[in-house]
Structure 1
């Protein structure tokens, strides 16, 4: 959930001072974008993977502080809960053998972390929602010991002035109240980053919005929460409801939320998202960074408290030139390293292909339809029907085979990605579609057909994960 801060308590002056700096930095970013003074570097890829620490009984193990201190890996960091960690990549040019490079990075980082967990009599698991998680695990004693999280909890609950209410209607119905932000830590994802040349950044952002429906269905790996079978990708409603707070005053319960699909496409520039951040969303973490306006410290911190499923980010090239990245947040974590890289391949290719179409012919799908497609896909997975850019309704599983996979191939080719890697990684996506087995389908089938025991299912899931075979080939007994 972003960078650490120096304080967890604030007064009115802190908010006023922060907002003034936020205004200045947003204005400067707007000027740089208008003057074409952001990076024009060709696309660069990267990722963040969130994972679970579990004990021998497959229950959450709140040990991330000691785990990270003794792992001593700069690519690993803490998440909101003491039983979550995050593993990061070094950025790689999105061309050539990029997929193999990302694969080797993730495999090495994952294996090191896994061996270290075992040395602590624990395991790490990549899965969208841990099936053995209980609501009682999500308490403030299990919050990572960081000012950022303490402050977020206080500010979000203050802005809501009432408990967090969860109401998710899927195969079963879950309703409950919770009294802190720890519910968010029940969701773990595989976040894909793409740095883009300024001239195409907002088009790629829009393309990512359109690509989100097939991505969330294809990568679904979170069907269960607290023993209830909900959506194919239950992370989506859970995260949205866990931090359900909106804009200023009367808008706090309005249509714009801090976790959302967004309010629309970026019509002319990516600055529109940062302008919306400034104008609509109150500051949550008003930490005064004693830094130059050009560092965008306040803008970046504020942006880190607004979680669109596709989120623009500001970073810097090695020479200090500011750049724009798009963070695609829809894929769940897991089920395996190779599945994660196959998911990345499909996303980079499909988004690039749609981006090229947008540049040539304009936006091909109304935003409202892209949004509806996304929630249909999160709810019903590969079986859902969506309205595609031809204006017709399609079963998503069929559309993936007939059109979306060929689009992803075309997009990766246009980026100059190795043909052998395209065949290898998108071949896994093709197999997943043909076998109709992603992480969510595997979990549902296990519980329905074999053993309604979430501990045993998680153990079998972890065994399969450790074998390293793609989820499309998983059996129910490893």
Structure 2
């Protein structure tokens, strides 16, 4: 870890927090004025996608079978060659697609771009014996290390705490060094408890994040509140992180207890428990919005972890650059975003953040299409699910986290009746399909995009269910828990190697 990084962190810590807050508040007034003037209005809906991966050994040069598909650090030069961006951990890589209009051509462009860039990245990584994996959480630590060691290893450089396996982003390292940073960051889940000096335990998790740009900025709250209602049901279909690395479990936890008490989407718990350590409450299921200005004010009033100085250039969004910087640590499971390099590209959008990385590209695009279709249809139809109490939507979200689609998730259908289970998903997917039809898709095209999610409803099998069943089978065959877990993870990677680009999760069983 370089002295330069520690110096840059110290420079951040020297920023006057009161001045930072005052500038963010002033920026908010600029942003609200532009919103009132219609600068963020557009004539169409736009979609985009952030797609995170982690890297593992492809097994060719592994010293033993135990090292196959173990977590690997991605060389920084390789990220540039792949056209991917760095994320929190040295093992992470992130792709961001080019925004496209929500129509058949735009959706095809999204899927084609992901496949084209990912195939090129896989070829590039293979030269180094690395494979990129689309998943919710890794479970096999780097060869010769435990997960606990990898996630907690840190040094002190002139009093600055630096995570050894974290990317050299000043923002990430500064979180552990500011005046409001807690003494430690704690990861908590059933039968798991881990303390670290930094936010590095968050690097366990990976996700996809569909974006939906609303046509008229003043309507963002209406779309946003619908997004909160669909968050639980969509999360339930996407659950994909039922297990932690074996060494993170409590010594006295039995395999039966881990299986019985574990949740289907531990990614939610990791993000919340680590980044809500101390007095901050940064990661939450957000409340309904009343006005678009409320969305701006929520960023202003959010607690500041890292008051970083901001340079201002000639871009349009440089007029509210400090507020944008503060928004970088404004984490909510559904998040409004306002930006644009120019006035003509200024946009108001919703980032949908609950979904873990999925087994295949087609499954990932299915969630992007479903969210876009629902945003296109439900608000314009004034679907009665908007009358579902916020508290019920919140409860749905955490029920989905724990139990996936097998939990008791409430919904209000088009007739205003309270439904759950198969009736919930019939209404949800019909309206997602109709939204895609409104966007110009044929019925065949709309069904193509949503078919992976329909398969999960009809079979009752999510990626989390698949993982649990593999572990149970290995335990029943006499394996210990760590062996059973690693056998499952290796089978996941092998299955994905055959289906990531062209297949779908339903091909696995």
Output the TM-score relative to the length of structure 2: 0.83
Instruction: Look up the SS of the partner of 2:403 in the other structure.
Output: helix
Match of 2:445 in 1: 421
- Residues 110-156 of structure 1 show CA distances to partners (whole Å, capped at 9, x for unaligned) of 1111111111011110100012242222132111122222212323x
The within-5 A match list for 1:125-164 is: 125-133=133-141, 134-138=147-151, 139=153, 140-155=163-178, 158-164=179-185
Unmatched runs of 5 consecutive residues or more in structure 1 = 247-251
Match of 2:157 in 1: none
- Deviation, structure 1 residue 313: 1.1
Whole-Å separation in 2 of the counterparts to 1:323 and 1:135: 41
Match of 2:253 in 1: none
- Residues 306-349 of structure 1 show CA distances to partners (whole Å, capped at 9, x for unaligned) of 11011111121765452111110011112111111112121111
Match of 2:397 in 1: 374
- Deviation, structure 1 residue 408: 1.0
The within-5 A match list for 1:7-156 is: 7-9=8-10, 10-11=12-13, 14-55=16-57, 56=59, 57-69=68-80, 71-73=81-83, 76-133=84-141, 134-138=147-151, 139=153, 140-155=163-178
Unmatched runs of 5 consecutive residues or more in structure 2 = 60-67, 142-146, 154-162, 247-257, 476-480
Do the aligned partners of residues 397 and 236 (structure 1) sit closer, same or farther apart at CA in structure 2, a change above 3 Å counting? Answer: farther
- Residues 25-53 of structure 1 show CA distances to partners (whole Å, capped at 9, x for unaligned) of 10111122223332323111110111001
Matched, 1:355 2:379: yes
Do the aligned partners of residues 26 and 136 (structure 1) sit closer, same or farther apart at CA in structure 2, a change above 3 Å counting? Answer: same
- Deviation, structure 1 residue 11: 4.9
- Residues 208-243 of structure 1 show CA distances to partners (whole Å, capped at 9, x for unaligned) of 111100111111111111235521111111100010
Q: Larger deviation: 381-390 or 318-327?
A: 318-327
User: Could you tell me whether the CA contact under 8 Å between 1:166 and 1:177 is conserved in 2?
Assistant: yes
Aligned residue pairs total: 452
- Deviation, structure 1 residue 13: 5.0
The within-5 A match list for 1:225-240 is: 225-227=244-246, 228-229=258-259, 230-240=262-272
Match of 1:464 in 2: 495
Matched, 1:193 2:211: yes
Q: Larger deviation: 227-236 or 448-457?
A: 448-457
Whole-Å separation in 1 of the counterparts to 2:381 and 2:341: 28
Instruction: Look up the SS of the partner of 1:82 in the other structure.
Output: coil
Q: Larger deviation: 408-417 or 447-456?
A: 447-456
Instruction: Look up the SS of the partner of 1:385 in the other structure.
Output: coil
- Deviation, structure 1 residue 5: 13
User: Could you tell me whether the CA contact under 8 Å between 2:15 and 2:308 is conserved in 1?
Assistant: no
Match of 2:230 in 1: 211
User: Could you tell me whether the CA contact under 8 Å between 2:46 and 2:99 is conserved in 1?
Assistant: yes
Match of 1:258 in 2: 282
- Deviation, structure 1 residue 294: 4.9
Matched, 1:286 2:308: yes
- Deviation, structure 1 residue 353: 2.5
Match of 1:277 in 2: 299
Q: Larger deviation: 138-147 or 333-342?
A: 138-147
Match of 1:165 in 2: 186
User: Could you tell me whether the CA contact under 8 Å between 1:97 and 1:418 is conserved in 2?
Assistant: no
Do the aligned partners of residues 442 and 116 (structure 1) sit closer, same or farther apart at CA in structure 2, a change above 3 Å counting? Answer: same
- Deviation, structure 1 residue 101: 1.7
Match of 1:249 in 2: none
Instruction: Look up the SS of the partner of 2:103 in the other structure.
Output: coil
Match of 2:63 in 1: none
Q: Larger deviation: 361-370 or 109-118?
A: 361-370
Do the aligned partners of residues 294 and 59 (structure 1) sit closer, same or farther apart at CA in structure 2, a change above 3 Å counting? Answer: closer
Output the TM-score relative to the length of structure 1: 0.88
User: Could you tell me whether the CA contact under 8 Å between 2:48 and 2:110 is conserved in 1?
Assistant: yes
User: Could you tell me whether the CA contact under 8 Å between 1:345 and 1:426 is conserved in 2?
Assistant: yes
